[in-house]
Amino acid sequence: MENAQASRPDEFPVVPDLHWSPELELGDVRMDQTHEEMVEQVACLRALPHVEQLEPYRELIRHTVEHFAQEERWMIATGFNADNCHASHHETILDTMRQVETHFLQGDEEIIDRMAAALAEWLPMHASTMDAGLVQHMKNVKFDSRTETLEDPSLVKPATMSGCGSVSCS
C-alpha cells in the first residue's frame, strides 16, 4: 500500500491539520482554552502563504511564551522545582520556535510551515502526557487554575517535585 504521508523521499511527511476537538480536552477549563487558542493559531498559520506567515508566527511565539509561563506558575504553586523536566521541555520548544524565526529571516521561506506542522504533531502528544499529568496533579492538590490558588496549601510541599507533570513521573 502506498504511503499517503510522504510522496518523495526528499520531502517532509505531510502532517494532517490539527483541529480542536473534545479528545484534546484535559478537564481544566483554563488550560483547555489556552490549548484551543494554540490549535487555532497553528491551523491559521498553516493556511497562509509563506510571505504572510511571519507576523502570525510571532504572535504564536508570544502566545506560547504566555502559555508556558502560565503552566510553569501552576507547577511552582503546586510543588514543582523550578527546573523540572516539563518546564525544560517548554524551554526547548520555545528555543526552537525562536530559531525558526531567525532561519525564516535568513531566507528559509518554508521553515515556518515545517514548524507549524511539527507543533500540530507535538501538541496533542505533549498535552496528553505532560499536561494531563499536571492537570491531574492540580486536581489532587485542589489547585484552582482560574484563581491560581490552593484550596488547602498544606496539601503541597513546595519545590519537592522535579518530574514532568505528574506525581508518578520523577
Q: How would you class 149 by CB atoms within 10 Å of its CB: exposed for 0-12, middle for 13-18, buried for 19 or more? A: exposed
Taking the C-alpha atoms of residue 31 and residue 154, their distance in angstroms, rounded to an integer, is: 24
Model confidence at 166: pLDDT above 50? no
> Tell me, what's the pLDDT at 30?
97
Q: How would you class 117 by CB atoms within 10 Å of its CB: exposed for 0-12, middle for 13-18, buried for 19 or more? A: buried
The tens digit of pLDDT for each residue in 16-27 reads 889 999 999 999
Half-sphere exposure of 112 (CA within 13 A, CB side): 28
Taking the C-alpha atoms of residue 28 and residue 36, their distance in angstroms, rounded to an integer, is: 12
Model confidence at 107: pLDDT above 50? yes
Model confidence at 163: pLDDT above 60? no
Q: What architecture is the 27-151 domain classified under in CATH?
A: Up-down Bundle (1.20)
Task: Note the Cα 29 to chain centre separation in Å.
Answer: 15
Taking the C-alpha atoms of residue 128 and residue 68, their distance in angstroms, rounded to an integer, is: 15
Residue 43's pLDDT band (boundaries 50, 70, 90)? Answer: very high
> Tell me, what's the pLDDT at 10?
53
What cell numbers appear for 51 in the block?
510571505
> Tell me, what's the pLDDT at 5?
41
Taking the C-alpha atoms of residue 14 and residue 113, their distance in angstroms, rounded to an integer, is: 11
**Any idea where the domains of the chain sit in the sequence?**
27-151
> Tell me, what's the pLDDT at 120?
96
Residue 72's pLDDT band (boundaries 50, 70, 90)? Answer: very high
